[in-house]
Amino acid sequence: MLVFGALLTVPCAATAAERIAMDADDIAGVVRGSKGPEAGVWVIAETTDLPTKMAKIVVTDERGRYLLPDLPKAGYRVWVRGYGLVDSKPLNATPGERLDLNAVTAPDAQAAAQYYPANYWLSLLNIPAAGDFPGTGPRGNGISAAMPTQAHWVYQVKEMCMFCHQLGNKATREIPGSLGRFDSSIQAWAHRIAQGPIGPYMSSLMGQFGPRGIREFADWTDRIAAGALPAQVPPRPTGLERNVVLTLWDWAGGAMIHDEIATDKRQPTVNAGGPVYGVSTHGGNKLVWIDPSKDVAAEIPVPSRDPAINSSPHNPMMDERGRVWITSAFRDPKKSPSFCTDPANPYARFFPLAEPQGSLRQVSLYDPASGKFELIDTCFGTHHLEFARDDARTLYLSGDVNAIGWVDTRAFDRTHDAQASTGWCPMVLDTNGDGRIGEWTEPGQPIDPKKDQRLAGFLYGMGVSPADGSVWYARYTYWIKDWTPGVPGGLIRFVRGAHPPESCRVEYYETPVKDGKPLAFNPRGVDLDHEGVAWVAYGSGQLGRFDRRRCKVTSGPTATGQHCPEGWTFFTSPGPRMKGVSTGSADWHYLTWVDQHDVLGLGRDVPIIPGTASDSLLVFLPKREQFVTLRVPYPLGLFARGLDGRIDDSKAGWKGRALWSSYDGRETKHIEGGPGTSSKIVKLQLRPSPLAK
């Protein structure tokens, strides 16, 4: 338990500091607090002397010792941050110095809590009891009649209110005086969510709760303003968590970054030591990058054929040649190529796509060698993307509610022809069990035992199995006539077969529902290990494991989703629960990345999910069934969506490999520092010990 009290100044522990072996490009020392050495606190060194602002962060060992390794030549401001503390006064230092630091004990719990991750504050939000559902509307209990269960309410809080920014950070848990004067907090909330270019959209989302929604948010901020604090104190890093080395660079200015890419996931030595790329979405319309060897950031516009269309790049992926493939928009979505509906095209003859539904992007390709883009038109919408390990080097994509699409990248390199290199299939379950796609029922129609069944739904995160090449998608919303919440949601397994579209096969595995309650919900990301096991990031604050090998049934009239509960296992992520909710945690997880090549150093096939609401990456050790929390404590507000891992030098130990993630929130002003704060790219490394240099 952390104790709060007055600061006691103590002399530096020079003898202990002398026992820290260091190089000329390191800064090392001991952190001491009012009761002696401070274990498990962060030491932060930040500089503005380089071409772009950079910071390095490490954790102290059990004796309060720290070592900041491999610092570029510059002047640094160095300070201590930790749970139970307030930030110490920054001291100036240069590489090669020994610098002992005094930690500052927080004067009270309120001061200490200002450094807690957002999910701890979000856990104070009251969630209506399960017995209050289904909602009875404005004249009943104030919950929308469209809210059938408590899970749907939590889905709305997390998925619809948090997919742009954290909830529980300082910007959302407080009502600033600069907002104006209001008769009630309800009025203040109604005013602030209506501001900005997406204000009408946010107001609409709040309205979907029913009137009780805004009342609960107003009550939440009122209680916090009156002094309410999270019931739990986040633990300080322990064990492996103390071995992390974080390096952060500014990039993209105030623009939103959606995701980053450093290498080819199939071969993580591609682009070794080279630039790390990100895409600037929602008005940025740029491909940005950082050269970590030179501490230099740059950017280039992502083109559009139509000046009226923002390219809105969403996700990048790298191929074996170091080229960056991006889902981006470059034409009017209502002006699809003629081959999308031309019966001469076998894909259009089988399942014509007059226009995409869901995402309205296509595909662009950037070649760093030439500095040029190529634009690849697609009939299907695109959102996320992953490469297969096949001869065609197929790029599979998500983002269309009706079809699964792909680009044969080798064919495109030969022909530069979109029609010759793209294809798609509808999502059809073999419910009549005849082993082929035949006549089907449409989404929302009753199952006909003599026919197959077509599914619809927005597919989000995705992964390709190293075991058998199957492609898996997180079906995170349903789609009958419109968007329907992903409660419980599930996984789509897709196999293209030898002669698509006729050979395409789809299976659907829905998150189990027991006694009317989903065991998890809101699946957003999925990735696969070498055994073919799918690891699923759930917005409900859970990690799911699905092993298809355990399924007794995979096709036929009963294989419609809830037919393989035996394949599922769920793990609740660290941190507090939502108030009044028994499933999951207050955290929210965006995508999944399985470390298929042991980049981090904790073993092959270790799944990692972003703690999008907890300023962290959560590493799950399958053999121990245990999470390791790699926290990014500064600046507060890491809104990680995805991550990547690259090996720069396989012979250099921990220094030659790293994970990469980024601050991906839509509102960079929500990052600690406020308006004017830049987005950041984060390099995460795990060394053998807290003092390894």
In a domain, 588, yes or no: no
Residue 12 pLDDT > 90: no
Helix or strand run (H / E) with residue 16: helix 14-18
8 A C-beta contact, residue 432 and residue 452: yes
Residues 127 and 192 in one domain: yes
CB 86 within 8 A of CB 107: yes
Q: How far is Cα 490 from Cα 548, in angstroms, rounded to an integer?
A: 13
Model confidence pLDDT, tens digit, residues 450-465: 999 999 999 999 999 9
- In a 3-state reduction of DSSP, which class is residue 576? coil
Classified as helix, coil or strand, 311 is coil
| Distances 614 to 162, 467, 491, 621, 638 between C-alpha atoms, Å | 12, 32, 25, 19, 8
Instruction: Say if residues 121 and 115 touch (Cβ distance below 8 Å).
Output: no
- pLDDT digits 0-9 by tens, 188-204: 999 999 998 889 999 99
Give CA separation, 603 vs 524, 530, 598, 688, in Å. 24, 12, 5, 13
Please indicate, yes or no, if residue 657 is contained in any of the structural domains. no
Rg of the chain over CA atoms, in angstroms?
Answer: 25
Burial (0-12, 13-18, 19+ Cβ within 10 Å), 187:
middle
pLDDT at position 569: 99
The CA distance from 662 to 615, in Å, is: 11
146 and 215 housed in the same domain: yes
CA–CA dist 22, 13 (Å, integer): 16
Residue 648 lies in a domain: no
pLDDT, tens digit (0-9, with 9 covering 90-100), for 139-157? 999 999 999 999 999 999 9
Pair (41, 59) in one structural domain:
yes
In this structure, the number of other CB atoms found within 10 A of the CB of residue 17 comes to 18
The amino acid present at 512, given as its one-letter code, is P
In a domain, 376, yes or no: no
Final residue of a structural domain among 113, 136, 154: 113
Confidence of residue 477 (pLDDT cuts 50, 70, 90): confident
What pLDDT, on the 0 to 100 scale, is given for residue 2? Answer: 37
Do 105 and 124 lie in one domain? The reply is no
Residues 221-265 pLDDT 10s = 999 999 999 999 999 999 999 999 999 999 998 888 999 999 999
Cα separation, 91 vs 206, in Å, equals: 45
Distance CA 262, CA 258 (A): 14
Q: Is 125 found in the same domain as 63?
A: no
Residues 67 and 143 in one domain: no
Q: In this structure, what DSSP letter does residue 272 have?
A: T
The pLDDT score that the predictor gives to residue 9 is 32
**How many whole angstroms separate alpha carbon 7 and alpha carbon 35?**
9
Q: What is the dihedral of CA 2, 3, 4, 6, to 10 degrees?
A: -130
Q: What are phi and psi of 102, to 5 degrees?
A: -100, 120
In a domain, 397, yes or no: no
DSSP code, position 177: G
- Give the count of domains, the chain: 2
Listed in sequence order, the residues at least 6 apart from 611 whose beta carbon sits closer than 8 Å to its beta carbon are: 117, 119, 573, 574, 575, 587, 589, 617, 618, 629, 640
Q: How many CB atoms lie within 10 A of CB 91?
A: 17
Structural tokens at position 468: 């058998």
DSSP E strands, 480-573: 483-495, 505-510, 513-514, 517-518, 523-528, 534-538, 542-546, 568-572
User: What is residue 8's predicted lDDT score, i.e. its pLDDT?
Assistant: 30
Q: Beta strand 27-33 with 65-68: parallel, antiparallel or unpaired?
A: antiparallel
Average pLDDT of the chain is 95
Q: Distance between CA 211 and CA 497 in Å, rounded? A: 50
* pLDDT tens digit sequence for 584-595: 999 999 999 999
Q: Is residue 123 in some structural domain?
A: yes
Q: What angle do CA 323, 328, 330 make, to 5 degrees?
A: 115
Q: pLDDT confidence of 480, banded at 50, 70, 90?
A: low
Q: What is the pLDDT of residue 18?
A: 54
pLDDT at 296 over 90: yes
The answer to whether residue 688 is domain-embedded is no
Assign 3-state DSSP to the chain and report helix, strand, coil percentages, each to 5: 15, 30, 50
Q: Which residues pair with 425 in a beta bridge?
A: 404
pTM: 0.95
Tell me the mean pLDDT in the region 50-70. 98
DSSP letter at 655 equals G
Same domain, 109 and 124: no
What does the pLDDT average to over 526-555?
A: 98
Which tokens sit at 35? 């009761």
Q: Dihedral, CA atoms, 178, 180, 183, 186, nearest 10 degrees?
A: -70
Within 10 A of 178 (CB to CB), how many other CB atoms are there? 5
Question: Mean pLDDT, to the nearest integer, of 500-519?
Answer: 97
* Final residue belonging to a domain, choices 197, 225, 253: 225
Residue 284: predicted pLDDT: 80
Query: Do 67 and 152 reside in the same domain of the chain?
Result: no
Residue 602 amino acid letter: L
Percent of the chain having pLDDT more than 70? 97
Q: Are 592 and 538 in contact (CB under 8 A)?
A: no
Report how far residue 101's alpha carbon sits from residue 98's, in angstroms, rounded to the nearest whole number. 10
CA–chain centroid gap for 56, Å, is 22
Judgement on whether residues 122 and 107 belong to the same structural domain of the protein: no
Among residues 225, 250, 265, which one ends one of the domains? Answer: 225
CA torsion, points 196, 358, 484, 146, in degrees to nearest 10?
40
Cα–Cα dist 505/45, whole Å: 53
Residue 283 has pLDDT above 90, yes or no: no
How big is the chain, counted in residues?
693
CATH code for position 79: 2.60.40.1120
Whether residue 484 lies inside any domain: the answer is no
What is the pLDDT at residue 454? 97
Counts of helices then strands in the chain (DSSP H, E) = 12, 42
With residue 247 as reference, give the H or E element that holds it: strand 244-250
Whether residue 641 contacts residue 650, with contact meaning beta carbons closer than 8 Å, is answered with no
Do 30 and 81 belong to one domain? yes
Q: d(Cα 449, Cα 441) in Å, to the nearest integer?
A: 10
Structure token pair of residue 550: 């355990």
**Which alpha helices (DSSP H) does 351-436 contain, by range?**
409-415, 418-421
Whether 129 and 98 share a structural domain: no
Shared domain check, 137 and 89? no
Q: Rounded to whole angstroms, how far apart are CA atoms 556 and 430?
A: 6
Q: In this predicted structure, which of 90-99, 443-452, 604-613, 627-636 has the lowest mean pLDDT? A: 443-452
**For tokens 């298929």, what's the residue?**
596
Q: Give Cβ neighbours of residue 482 (< 8 Å, ≥ 6 apart).
A: none
Q: Which domain holds residue 159?
A: 118-225
Q: What angle, rounded to 10 degrees, do the helices at 211-225 and 185-193 form?
A: 110
Report how far Cα 357 is from the mean position of its chain's Cα atoms.
23
